[in-house]
Amino acid sequence: MKSLSARLLLSLPFLIASAAWAQNAPQTDLTRTQLQAGMHLIQVQIAQTPQERATGLMHRQEMPANEGMLFIFEHPAEQCFWMKNTLLPLTAAFVAEDGSIVNLADMQPQSLESHCSTKPVRYVLEMHKGWFDKRGLQPGTRLIGGPFRK
């Protein structure tokens, strides 16, 4: 019978490979909810753990038109996002606790340029680049549903 340390040593390459694969694959199995911005419905995946937020929409090659990702943080703070390993052009909506959009930032794929909230926020909603503009949604627009009260 092999010792516990020998078994752990033998399984180490598998564990490392599994962790590396998870970081290089899109995360598509997150909790989902629906938000509303004016008359527009948005299907979102929720990224709320540090690992889920760190991976975000990385490695995603496609995403439905009215789908996005909502990043939830524990406390309001200045939030900054970049696009490392993100293949889709996105717009980030930095959102206050009451669901109102504080500011919007268009982000280019695979860029390390930081895009930050103009004041402390608890949420960031990423959608396809231009999604908010095409619908006339701008700072001050209030999101409803999910973590936002009506």
What are the structural domain ranges in the chain?
4-145
What pLDDT does 33 receive?
97
pLDDT of 5 higher than 70: no
Q: Report whether 73 contacts 79 (CB < 8 A).
A: yes
Q: Mean pLDDT across the stretch 6-26? A: 48
Instruction: Provide the percentage of residues in the chain whose pLDDT is more than 90.
Output: 79
- What pLDDT is stored for residue 50 in this prediction? 96
**Where residue 25 falls among pLDDT bands split at 50, 70, 90?**
confident
Q: Could you read off the pLDDT of 96-115 as tens digits, one per residue?
A: 999 999 999 999 999 999 99
Topology, domain 4-145: Jelly Rolls (2.60.120)
**Among 98, 94, 96, CA closest to 107:** 94
Mean pLDDT over the full length of the chain: 88
Q: Which amino acid is at 68?
A: G
Is residue 95 predicted with pLDDT exceeding 60? yes
Please name which of 126, 121, 111, 119 lies closest in space to residue 46, comparing C-alpha atoms.
Answer: 126
Cβ burial, residue 86 (10 Å; 0-12/13-18/19+): buried
Q: Can you name the residues that pair with 62 across neighbouring β-strands?
A: none
One DSSP character per residue, 15-65 reads HHHHHHHHHTS----S-EEEEEETTEEEEEEEE-SHHHHHHTTTT-----T
